[in-house]
Amino acid sequence: MSRLISILHKIEDALLVSLLMLMIGLAVFQIVLRNGFDAGMVWADPLVRVLVLWLGLIGAMVASRTDNHISIDIVSKYLCARLKRVTTLLVYLFTTIVCALMTWHSARFVIMEKADGMLAFFSVPIWICELVIPFAFGIITIRYALFFMENLIRIFTPLPLKHS
């Protein structure tokens, strides 16, 4: 299990690095072509825009590894340890459900788009570019489901006694 997770982490990291480098390279190459040779690659602009979406969503996937998303965490500072466990558990449950719904509906969207058969650039269909949405939300759902389980287990194990 933990090997599987570390492989997934490596894949995510490698994707982030290569997609970002591809994005920078393509964008700069376009500028050189346009200013130096009055030429350009028509497919480069839509591809780069799709890369923004991919980078963003994979970045969001990676953020959920450590539950590192932007949030307003004001209340929990003032809660006792026991209550805090409960709120954390509830928050993980809420996040899991919302992300699962999002995965389901974006998967439906991709299936509809596949039926439409529109092209993004070259002969790459749009639905392939959109596939990242259900995929990323699927992974985020799984990660928060695991956080939830972990905390559920912990809540039923007694607090460790403090030895001094």
Partner 1 sequence: MTFTIIGLLIVFALMGAPLFTVIIAAAMYGFHLSEIDLSVMAIELYRIADTPILLALPLFTFAGYILGESNTSQRLVTLTRAFLGWMPGGLAIVAFVVCALFTAFTGASGVTIVAMGALLYPALTQAGYTDRFSLGLVTTSGSLGLLLPPSLPLILYGIIAQQMNGGEQVSIENLFLAGLFPALLMIVMLSAWSVWANRGNQVPLIRFSVRNCLLALKAAGWEVPLPLFVFFGIYSGYFAVSEAAAVTAMYVLVVEVLIYREIPLKKLPGIIRESMVMVGGILLILGVSLALTNYLIDVEAPMKLFKFCETFVSSKLVFLILLNIFLLILGAMLDIFSAIIIMVPLMLPVALEYGVHPVHLGIIFLANMQIGYFTPPVGMNLFIASYRFNKPIVEIYRATIPFMLVLLLSVLIITYWPQLSLFLIS
Partner 2 sequence: QALTIKIATISPEGSMWMEKMREGASKVARTTDNRVKFKFYPGGVMGNDKAVLRKIRINQLQGGALMSGSLSSFFPGNQIYAQPMKFKSQEEVDYVRRHMDEYIIKGLDDAGFVCFTLMGGGFAYIMSKSPVASIADLKACKIWVPDNDTMTVDSMECFGISPFALPLADVRTGLQSGLIDTVGTSPVGAVVLQWHTEIKYMTNLPLLYLYAVFAIDKKTFNKISPDDQKVVSEIMDRSLKEIDRLNREDNIKAIDALKKQGIKLINPSKEQMDEWLAAAAIASQKMIDDGNLPKNSADKVDALLEQYRKNQ
Sole window of 36-44, 84-92, 151-159 interacting with partner 1 (rule: CB under 8 A)? 84-92
Residues 116, 118, 124, 130, Cα dihedral to 10°: -70
The yes or no reply on residue 56 touching partner 1 (CB under 8 A) is yes
The yes or no reply on residue 34 touching partner 2 (CB under 8 A) is yes
Instruction: Decide: 136 and 60 in contact? Cβ < 8 Å.
Output: yes
Sole window of 36-44, 48-56, 153-161 interacting with partner 1 (rule: CB under 8 A)? 48-56
Sole window of 34-42, 78-86, 92-100, 148-156 interacting with partner 2 (rule: CB under 8 A)? 34-42
Name residues contacting partner 1, limited to 8-47 (CB under 8 A).
13, 16-17, 20, 23-24, 27-28, 30-31, 35, 45-46
End-to-end CA distance of the chain: 36
The yes or no reply on residue 133 touching partner 1 (CB under 8 A) is yes
Q: How far apart are CA 33 and CA 28, in angstroms?
A: 9
Which of 134, 76, 66 minimizes the C-alpha distance to 104?
A: 134
Radius of gyration of the chain measured on its C-alpha atoms: 21
The yes or no reply on residue 38 touching partner 2 (CB under 8 A) is yes
The yes or no reply on residue 42 touching partner 2 (CB under 8 A) is yes
What are the tokens at 138? 């699927």
What are the tokens at 16? 């982030």
Judged by CB under 8 A, the residue of 4, 74, 81, 118 near partner 2 is: 118
The yes or no reply on residue 12 touching partner 2 (CB under 8 A) is no
What are the tokens at 68? 């590192």
Q: Rule CB under 8 A: which residues touch partner 2?
A: 34, 38-42, 45-46, 112-113, 116, 118
